[in-house]
Amino acid sequence: MDDEVRTTLIEVSRGSDAGSVTFPGVVAKLIEAGVERYHTDLVRSNKTYYLPDGQSETVSGERGDVAPAAQFSAAGVDAAVRASQAGTISYREFCERILAAGCVGYFVSITGRRALYYGRSAETHTELFPGAR
């Protein structure tokens, strides 16, 4: 992976954590960098980005204080997604809310235009990107 792509991944991660880059902005920058998907591990506070050729890069983030709930609530995750899309909560608050809903991580498929949120026992909630079918 070249240094320019690696730098973009770090900037996107930091900007997302700081609330200075929105999800649509993250996706646009990742498309430009050639990323096809990424995984966010909420418990370990890191993101792993994947290129189509199999290369990957993991970027560590700041650990929060919220532990994941024991039970997964798809409705709780969905409510946090809606609040995030409406711009009424920050990315940090979004992560806190989905952790409180029992989500321990999520996958974003840029090529598939969807995110898959999962709990401790592999319960899932799939969210299509706005406008995706």
pLDDT tens figures, 76-110: 999 999 999 898 999 999 999 999 999 999 999 99
pLDDT at residue 132 in the model = 65
Instruction: List pLDDT tens digits, range 29-71.
Output: 999 999 999 999 999 999 999 999 999 999 998 877 889 999 9
User: What are the domain boundaries of the chain?
Assistant: 3-126
Question: Maximum Cα–Cα distance for the chain, whole Å?
Answer: 40
Distance between CA atoms of residues 64 and 78, nearest Å: 20
Which alpha helices (H) appear in the chain, and where do they start and end? 3-18, 23-33, 74-86, 91-100
Token readout for 80 is 């946090």
Domain 3-126 has CATH 3.30.1810.10: yes
Please tell me the distance from the alpha carbon of residue 105 to that of residue 118, in angstroms, as a whole number. Answer: 6
